[in-house]
A and B are shown apart, each in its own frame.
Chain A
Amino acid sequence: MDRIPILRIGDILLVSIQVDLQDQLAVTLQEDLAERIVTTGCSGVLLDISGLEIVDSFIGRMISTTAAVSRVLDAETVVVGMRPAVAITLVELGLSLDGVRTALDVDRGMALLQQARQADASESAQADG
């Protein structure tokens, strides 16, 4: 079975989902990400879902859980590229994806992650100082 590739760009992990997401694939991705966050010590995860035509409750839960797990592992997650039709459907489904930050595209997502990292850094600096 294929795995969804996780790319490392500096301090960020980039995941781009381009296939119709099978449940098992989603679960494996969640586990792979958690492991890579720890082994790389990265500070951010960029989840590109521009290739997803459908986000149902299972995949929605996977996204929420991924963000929550990352946060526990001290990394921030940003979801980018959601399609309008998917957004409309998610709202109708009642899935708010609370606690998941979103951005229009990869560039803005990266900028958001950088802001978060800087905010984190200054917070730590204050705490130490």
Chain B
Amino acid sequence: MPDSPAARGWSLLAQRRDDIIAGWTTEMATALAGRMTSGELERDARDMFDALSAAGAHEARGINDSAFAELRTLLSDVARTRARRGFTPTETAVSVFALKSAVLTVLQREADLSLYEFYAEFSRLVDDLGLFMLETYAQVRESVISEQADALLELSTPVVKLWDGIVSLPLVGTLDSARTQVVMEKLLQTLVETGSEHAIIDITGVSAVDTQVAQHLLKTVMAARLLGAECIISGIRPQIAQTVVALGIEFGDISTKATLADALLLALRRSGLDIVARPGQQ
């Protein structure tokens, strides 16, 4: 056993540790073209190599073996960092695969053909590790993207206070299911937080209203009513009005106004206020 190709291979790797780490770092630096300092890369390489050597010497069965636990954690961390810093999948994967050429260089210098058997196993192992790392990377990338999407959604749905107890929600662009839900939640939350009893949902900027959008609007109004607030829908353009009628959508007893101004006046009056012209100033 001590003389098996595997044992000799791992022992050789341990001996040539510094060369391998140096070679690996250089390969990574080339691929990452200055995105990370060689100091950072060297530290990553050293940590990963040491964890790999320690695990490899154990004759473990595949990377899910407990011997590889530390290495997996390390790879996950590296993948996470790369993902959060916006590295591409290739830039991330090369961090692991570059190890292969560094090791191959060292093995070739030995002129010992039996080490090929070891390299074949080693290469398979590195492939598995690389794939594992990419899995983590992919998961983190997805969550980063969805966080950004949420943030964008937040920014693009402002609820504006028009007067004491009156807020307005200008909807712009296309309304998909996810967006409308976020918008609905934000409006209701704002009504409660500001103690507003009136909400004006302005759809002047909405390109098209289909049955689904109309249903979402209706649900929003019903939910607001359950909270103790009333909604007015404004900015209904002629085309939208025709679409709504053609689709058979009933707005029922929900007030609708052509313009935001009309809606504001209605909301003010419902609040017990009114707008009057001051004498001698027209």
Determine whether A and B are in direct contact in the complex, meaning some CB atoms lie less than 8 angstroms apart: yes
A-side residues, CB < 8 A to B, are 80, 82-88, 90-92, 96-97, 102-105, 108-109
Name B219-256 residues within 8 Å CB distance of A: 219, 222-229
The dominant DSSP class at the B interface is helix
What separation, in Å, do the CA atoms of A102 and B197 have in the docked complex? 11
Chain B residues with CB under 8 Å of A96's CB are 222
Q: Do A88 and B228 have beta carbons less than 8 Å apart?
A: no
Extra 13 A-B pairs, beta carbons < 8 Å, given A91-B222, A102-B225, A104-B195: A87-B224, A87-B227, A88-B184, A88-B185, A88-B188, A96-B222, A104-B192, A104-B196, A104-B228, A104-B229, A108-B195, A108-B197, A109-B228
Chain A residues with CB under 8 Å of B189's CB are 84
Is B169 positioned at the interface, with any CB of A under 8 Å from its CB?
no
How far in angstroms is the closest Cβ of chain B from A86?
8
What separation, in Å, do the CA atoms of A84 and B185 have in the docked complex? 7
Chain B residues with CB under 8 Å of A85's CB are 185
> Which of B192, B197, B219 sits near A84, CB closer than 8 Å?
B192
What separation, in Å, do the CA atoms of A96 and B219 have in the docked complex? 11
Q: How many residues of B contact A (CB 8 A)?
A: 18
> Which of A83, A86, A92, A103 sits near B228, CB closer than 8 Å?
A103
Chain B residues with CB under 8 Å of A82's CB are 226-228
What separation, in Å, do the CA atoms of A109 and B197 have in the docked complex? 12
Chain A residues with CB under 8 Å of B225's CB are 102
Q: Do B223 and A88 have beta carbons less than 8 Å apart?
A: yes
Name which residue of chain A comes closest to B219, CB basis.
A91
What separation, in Å, do the CA atoms of A55 and B144 have in the docked complex? 34
Given A84-B192, A104-B195, A90–B228 Cβ distance below 8 Å? no
Q: Which 8 A-B pairs have the closest CB atoms?
A: A84-B188, A103-B228, A87-B223, A87-B226, A102-B228, A104-B228, A91-B222, A91-B223
